[in-house]
Amino acid sequence: MPESFEEILSMLPSLRGQCAAVREILLTNLVMVGEIPAPTFGEKERVDFLQRRFSECGLQNCSTDEVDNALAVLPGESGSQNILVVAHTDTVFPAAVDHTISLQADIVRGRGVADNSLGLAVLMTLPAALERANIRLQSNVVLIGASRSLGRGNLEGLRFFLGNNDMSLRAGVCVEGVELGRLSLTSIGMLRGEITCTVSEEYDWTRFGTTSAILTLNEAINRVLEIPVPRRPRTSIVLGTIQGGQSFNTIAKQAVLGFEIRSESRETAHKIAEQMQDITDELSSRTGADAVLDVFASRDPGGIAFSHPLARHTRAIMNELGITQRIAPSTSELTAFIDRKIPAVTTGITTAENLNQADEVVYIEPMFTGLTQLLGILLAIDGGFCDED
């Protein structure tokens, strides 16, 4: 066990070599887990695979739970403390599309390889990497493939685990496939939802706006864009997706806007949501169309300070490995830790292209730096260097 944080830093170059030695295991895990479709709420097959993998590694307490998380414990030497390492299991792709992954000398290509099959592959490879590097941590490492994370999932998997276990958690590390250099310490406030406009089957030509759900939604969008958005606290409204209509020559019966309100202030985000509620209520009453606001996911702002020992030591590890840092807030699993006041960071493993597209690509060589970074962070947490006084 390293005596000082400096000793951990000095170990990193040789650790990288050990991480590169588990390349085949990592790539195999990536391909095998990535080819199992896992849309949000449809992760079960992927989770079963993950659980089998955990069992094969000889981990303890391998199990799945009622919200389809896969869980396992890599027991520590003393086992008196617990470190949680989590990667989300779901992807943005529906089950029906081709999930075939191709492997070339320097890249892996396929749907979801970056977000977040690689994160899961790292989770499954971590025991082998620690063994190869001859690292025996004092703390237990709790590995979780967290389901129902994205979209309407609203981090249900990790939130369920954190809300229903009695483990005392020293710190958390969220593993994302991309981007190496990413470091998230804080969460911004976020409200995610949809505005759904529907017109009845029998519309009245004389009534404004009811001739098409798309026209009603267009009116709603124009009104949303008129909402004043403050510069401080930093706030934005992201209009992310839009769907509507069936064909060129039929009047759209339904149109749906997907949006996120992001703000450093919880109050500001909620105030904007109230204004959007007013807009949809008014549209419904004025046009006769049915405009419904549904806010189904939320994050509260928070996180650890830039100077927190976990943040400081993670940055030092990244520096030592020559990783260029991009520090930005997150709306991912980190938020669930923040809600529970558990210090945590989110890091990425490699570089990627075409994120969330059919030809998503991750680069192989940087993965070993990303994996080394994770080992360094675990060693630092395990050694007590990341605890606040």
Partner 1 sequence: MKIEAWLKSNTFHHSAFWDVMQAVKEKERQNLKISLCIPTLNEEKTIGKEIVIFRSELMERYPLLDEIAVIDSGSEDSTLEVAKAFGADVHLASEILPDLDARTGKGENLWKAIYQLKGDIIVYVDADIKNIHPRFVYGLVSPLIYRPEVKYVKAFYDRPLAFSEKQVRPSGGGRVTEILVRPLFSLFFPDLTALIQPLSGEYAVRRDVLEKIPFPIGYGVETSHLIDVYNKWGLGAFAQTDLDQRVHRNQETRSLGRMAFGIMQTFLRRLENMDKIKDLPEMGKTLHQFQVRDRNYEQVQFEITEHERPPMISIPAYRKKFNRGEAHES
Judged by the rule CB under 8 A, the positions of this chain that interact with partner 1 are 24-25, 27-28, 31-32, 35, 56, 98, 100-105
Q: Which residues contact 257 (CB under 8 A, 6 or more apart)?
A: 194, 195, 196, 217, 220, 221, 239, 241, 242
The smaller minimum CB distance to partner 1, of residues 57 and 386, is found at 57
The smaller minimum CB distance to partner 1, of residues 32 and 92, is found at 32
CB of 106 to partner 1, least distance (A): 9
CB of 31 to partner 1, least distance (A): 6
List Cα–Cα distances, 82 to 75, 85, 140, 141, in angstroms: 9, 10, 5, 6
**Cα diameter, the chain:** 79
User: In sequence order, what are the beta bridge partners of 84?
Assistant: 142, 172
CB of 26 to partner 1, least distance (A): 9
Helices and strands, counts by H and E, the chain: 10, 18
* Three-class secondary structure of residue 185 per DSSP: coil
CB of 127 to partner 1, least distance (A): 12
The smaller minimum CB distance to partner 1, of residues 122 and 237, is found at 122
The smaller minimum CB distance to partner 1, of residues 53 and 170, is found at 53
User: What is the C-alpha separation between 302 and 306, in angstroms, rounded?
Assistant: 12
Measured in whole angstroms, the distance separating CA 254 from the mean position of its chain's CA atoms is 30
CB of 33 to partner 1, least distance (A): 12
Whether 152 contacts 263, CB under 8 Å:
no
The smaller minimum CB distance to partner 1, of residues 13 and 94, is found at 94
Q: How many CA atoms lie within 13 A of 65 on its CB side?
A: 21
Q: Return the structure tokens found at 210.
A: 């009811």
CB of 25 to partner 1, least distance (A): 5
User: In sequence order, what are the beta bridge partners of 302?
Assistant: 187
Whether 349 contacts 122, CB under 8 Å:
yes
The smaller minimum CB distance to partner 1, of residues 7 and 98, is found at 98
Q: Return the structure tokens found at 58.
A: 């000889």
The smaller minimum CB distance to partner 1, of residues 132 and 270, is found at 132
CB of 30 to partner 1, least distance (A): 9
